[in-house]
A and B are shown apart, each in its own frame.
Chain A
């Protein structure tokens, strides 16, 4: 008997698969990451247990995981917003930089010795700077269909160099012994931290933003427009929605959120602008958004999971002397497997025996109609 494999699109995805597939994908990614580490001469068991222990093993580790998850969740909301509209904002990293630069500029030039006022000024400066940075790419895309993936990426490099210009040049702290960093911010320009940990007030924004955007996308007219435009721009035009205006606006908003994430990281955690400021949060956020299937609430959860990996990665660097970017291997693998998993969500694989009529007789009811 001849067997043949038939791949057919699913009409509807069973609810169970919606949860099972990401979990299995994640497990498969970690497994192949283990194999990779093994061939690197690194004990995968030791590596993974180090990751888990350092990030979830005690209160300090847990708090550090949350600290990493804060900018991730915000940046993921930023890219999620543009991805929903099928605009590929790969530039969250640069927008984070711009937000931080603007916030640092605000501290330097517009300092007010009042926590609340300073927060408002920094918030606005970071939002506007990040927003404009992204809106440039958005405008080019909307007006002349310039590929936004490349422009946002190139702007990342430009923003990184701009930050370097400031910290190596005019803003360098004379007291830093030549290190490329600004002077530490005064207390009024710092976000409060809690429970004696490094968890800062950015946490509230990291929870608030997903909730707000969940409501917007699900229940508002504008959210509906964005979803229609992402699914089918032609239908959106046909329904009288303005694609161009919305591309620029969504990119602005996306960049603004990323910029604010940068400001929180700056003022909540580091307290000064320095070289190598963001550890690739803008890129990791892409994985978070994709893994969460662009669902704002799921982003909170996935950010935490990614936080585990990031904290673990830092510990691995110290304990096992692995380069920090080796965590990118795991991130890349996760993304690969999640993508592969999508296939099983969209398609069904059936194995048929050739020759005789396949023993599937579910269609008769439909035919008689």
Chain B
């Protein structure tokens, strides 16, 4: 147990950026828009978070800036996918390229600096619980926010009117449209909010996790989040489980390296990626050929009302 606690604590910390990204993508995909640009959005979020924290000295302003940048990128994606009915896969790839390039161009003057970033705030009482306390309740506030976000989204999707309309839009936009829900507005709004949450995940990397900026610092976490959405079958609670699982693998891998194992580092660094494939394979074999409930039925398809069939 004594050895496990640091690993589990680290799992929560390194799982949090993935968790934010996964939750953001779930919000986007529930409305039927597939955004594969997570990697780019996270990177720009990480840059914006770092740059604003550095210049203002306020980490929370940095996080807010990241969210704002995310919504802007979400707006671009929504414009291409909703208004121009473009291919969502390609738009996401373009977003990844743009975000990767723009973040390294913008961030070239920030390389090598560090910021104080977010500090640990142990939750009184809760952090004293053995095992659970240090693992879950001895972190910075952004991690506590992610817990709240998980609960909020579960409740939002299932028990609120807006959540219901959002799911309807993703499942059957024609029906949603015929029932007076504006498909375009809904998709725009949640694509923007979703991308904002994703960007916060990126900002967590630079503002709370490493407290510095580096090119390509997300290292594929955006893509892992895309895979986790499927693993989570669009359920925020399962997303949390998946994100911490990946955080755990990463923490474990780093710890092994630090302990001076004989396994070469590049082999260890393959682990999260191999595990993503394994997880995806597992869930796909399990679901078999039938339709997975939870997957928005119209995911990735543009909607055009005046098309006659």
Q: A and B: direct contact (Cβ < 8 Å)?
A: yes
Q: Is the interface of A mostly helix, strand, loop or mixed?
A: helix
Question: Can you list 25 A-B contacts (CB < 8 A)?
Answer: A9-B307, A140-B284, A144-B281, A147-B230, A151-B280, A153-B223, A155-B273, A157-B270, A157-B273, A158-B273, A161-B270, A164-B269, A283-B93, A325-B216, A328-B97, A331-B101, A332-B40, A332-B97, A332-B99, A335-B97, A336-B80, A336-B91, A336-B94, A339-B90, A343-B84
Size category of the binding interface on chain A: 35 or more
0/1 string, B95-108, CB within 8 A of A gives 1: 11111111011101
Contacts of B84 in A (CB 8 A): 339-340, 342-343
Q: Is B87 an interface residue (CB 8 A)?
A: yes
Interface of B is mostly: helix
CB contacts under 8 Å to A, within B204-227, are: 215-216, 220, 223-224, 226-227
Residue pair A335, B90 in contact (C-beta under 8 Å): yes
Contact A154 B273 (CB under 8 A): yes
Identify B105's interface contact among A144, A326, A336, CB under 8 A.
A326
Interface centre among B93, B97, B102, B227 (most CB of A within 10 A): B97
One digit per residue, 1 when the CB lies within 8 angstroms of any chain B CB and 0 when it does not, for chain A 122-152 equals 0000000000000000001000111101110
B120 within 8 A of A: no
Please judge, given known A-B contacts A154-B273, A162-B266, whether A332 and B101 are in contact too, CB under 8 Å: yes
Cα A65 to Cα B228 with chains together (Å): 40
Residues of B near any A CB (own CB < 8 A):
36, 40, 76, 80, 84-87, 89-91, 93-102, 104-106, 108, 215-216, 220, 223-224, 226-227, 230, 264-267, 269-270, 273-274, 276-277, 280-281, 284-285, 289, 304, 306-307
Could you tell me the distance in whole angstroms from the C-beta of A261 to the nearest C-beta in chain B?
A: 19
Interface presence of A36 (CB below 8 A):
yes
Chain A positions within 8 Å of B85 at CB level: 343, 346-347
Partner of B264 from the list A150, A165, A323, A331 (CB cut-off 8 Å) is A165
Task: Write out the residue numbers on chain A whose beta carbons fall within 8 Å of the beta carbon of B104.
Answer: 323, 325-326, 328
B213 shortest CB reach to chain A, Å: 12
Q: Provide the residues of chain B in CB contact with A36, threshold 8 Å.
A: 102
Q: Which residue of A lies closest to B275 (CB)?
A: A154
